[in-house]
Structure 1
Amino acid sequence: MNRMNIRFTLITISLLVFLSSCQMGRSDYMSEEQRKELETAYDSLQSNYKMLLANYEGATDTLPSDIQSLYSQMQNMHSEMDVSHRQMMAGNMGRHMQGDNMMAEGMGRHMQGHMTGEWYSQMMGMHEQMARLHQQMGQQNMARMNRRLSEEYGKMIKMIPDLDEPTEIPFNEEGDPTLLNGESLFSQNCASCHGGNAEGVSGAFPPLLNSEWITGDKSTPIRILLHGLQGEIEVQGQTYQGIMPSFKARLSAAEIASLLTYLREKSDGDYPTVSQQDVVEVANSFSNRTTPWSASELNKN
């Protein structure tokens, strides 16, 4: 056997060994034990979610239209979260949306984990707010069911590996925010909680339109979108309590700039646009940040 044949044989054997060690649709992002633990938790969550929907269907006559609208939005969010969860569990390479086009390269399993974690966080906040609204209405059973789901999402967040490690924002340096549709980005990522017109839901989700947190210093809304916001916050004289998830793994720098510029232009007044470079500079300044901001922290800086 000549050297060429020997080399070819060795390469073939190595390739076969590698392929035999791989499992189709599996990922080394999680250990088998971690995967099973998260799958069990997710099955429990899905069961409780179905029970909540069944109770909601039986209580629609007693719920105001704005609460019914929130439930409709919650179901849409749940469907999108489920897609992200299944991609992570299958070990698929997450792909980042750049406007209406897909970026050529996947973000990788680590970024997919962060994206799914952001969905868990968003759903946790949504159910916690729904629990508060039902509590105020005296509907204790619905409040308990929503609170249970919020707690389950909180537990699942802790099961995703390496969420406490910083991630690089998946921005496209060649992107141009002016070529993106800020209104469409808002509808896809914000309207489910803050309303189609960005006017918020009283007592649950603060308005973004004419919000001082949006129209003030550019770095404030950029930091909120990059890292999230948690705790008490006052908006237009009303106090809100909840969780705003990070969108760092779901939006590029250009998309964040386009979305925030849309909200600032839609608000009353004349506010400077947000550029992609603005977002990149803030992201680089706080590249090691892994936890949500508080209102007091944002006010200090």
Structure 2
Amino acid sequence: MKKGVVVILVLCIQTAIAQTPKLLDGKGVYTQYCLPCHQEDGTGVPNLNPPLRKSDWVNGDKNRLIKVILEGLEEEIEVNGESYNRVMAAHNFLTDKQVADVLTYIRSNFENTSDAIKEEEVKSLRKKKP
């Protein structure tokens, strides 16, 4: 194989790897587990799945948000003045780092500007589980 072809092939592979979201980063976890219900742009599905974009739940109490991921949600909630009553399964199979990363991703995207969630915060709440 000629040197020029090898260089192009290597560059193509590097580009493909760089554009593939890693499962361990926040965007990768969001794409894998959250996007189907909350949509690519975080707007949710009206009357079914609440929005994450500019969400009072996302930008509010960190512990409440972490518990939704770890424990799921089976009660009616109000998000940005709208009621939602659809079950969200627990995602407690995610590691503490994955939970922290995906929530940090959500809290810093979709027009949200909240601070990061630390792995230690997730770990602490997971231990307190009833």
TM range (shorter): 0.7 to 0.9
User: Where does residue 113 of structure 2 map in the other structure?
Assistant: 270
SS in 1 for 2:101: helix
CA distance in 1, matches of 2:82, 2:99: 26
Of the candidates 40, 55, 58, which is equivalent to residue 196 of structure 1?
A: 40
AA matched with 1:257: A
User: Where does residue 239 of structure 1 map in the other structure?
Assistant: 83
Identity, % of aligned pairs?
31
SS in 1 for 2:86: strand
Report the CA distance between 1:284 and its aligned residue. Answer: 1.2
CA distance in 2, matches of 1:270, 1:279: 20
Query: How many matched pairs?
Result: 109
CA distance in 2, matches of 1:210, 1:234: 14
Bigger RCO (CA 8 Å, 6+ sep): 2
User: Where does residue 182 of structure 1 map in the other structure?
Assistant: 26
User: Where does residue 67 of structure 1 map in the other structure?
Assistant: none
User: Where does residue 209 of structure 1 map in the other structure?
Assistant: 53
Report the CA distance between 1:181 and its aligned residue. Answer: 1.9
Q: If the length of structure 1 is used for normalisation, what is the TM-score?
A: 0.35
Provide, for residues 36-57 of structure 1, a one-character-per-residue CA deviation record: whole Å limited to 9, x for no partner: xxxxxxxxxxxxxxxxxxxxxx
Q: Tell me: CA distance 1:195–1:270, structure 2 relative to 1, closer, same or farther (3 Å).
A: closer
User: Where does residue 101 of structure 2 map in the other structure?
Assistant: 258
Q: If the length of structure 2 is used for normalisation, what is the TM-score?
A: 0.78
CA distance in 1, matches of 2:91, 2:31: 14
Runs of 4 or more above 4 Å deviation:
none
Alignment of 1:1-301 (within 5 A): 100=23, 180-249=24-93, 251-286=94-129, 288=130
CA distance in 1, matches of 2:62, 2:106: 12
Provide, for residues 41-91 of structure 1, a one-character-per-residue CA deviation record: whole Å limited to 9, x for no partner: xxxxxxxxxxxxxxxxxxxxxxxxxxxxxxxxxxxxxxxxxxxxxxxxxxx
SS in 2 for 1:191: helix
Gap regions ≥5 residues in structure 2:
1-21
Provide, for residues 164-195 of structure 1, a one-character-per-residue CA deviation record: whole Å limited to 9, x for no partner: xxxxxxxxxxxxxxxx4211110100111111
CA distance in 1, matches of 2:45, 2:112: 22
User: Contact 2:59 / 2:113 at 8 angstroms: preserved in 1?
Assistant: no
Provide, for residues 92-138 of structure 1, a one-character-per-residue CA deviation record: whole Å limited to 9, x for no partner: xxxxxxx55xxxxxxxxxxxxxxxxxxxxxxxxxxxxxxxxxxxxxx
SS in 1 for 2:68: helix
Q: Kindly report the root-mean-square deviation, in angstroms, between the aligned alpha carbons of the 2 structures.
A: 1.4
Greater Cα radius of gyration, structure 1 or 2: 1
AA matched with 1:261: T
The structure with the largest helix share of the pair is 1
User: Contact 1:181 / 1:258 at 8 angstroms: preserved in 2?
Assistant: yes
Report the CA distance between 1:231 and its aligned residue. Answer: 2.0
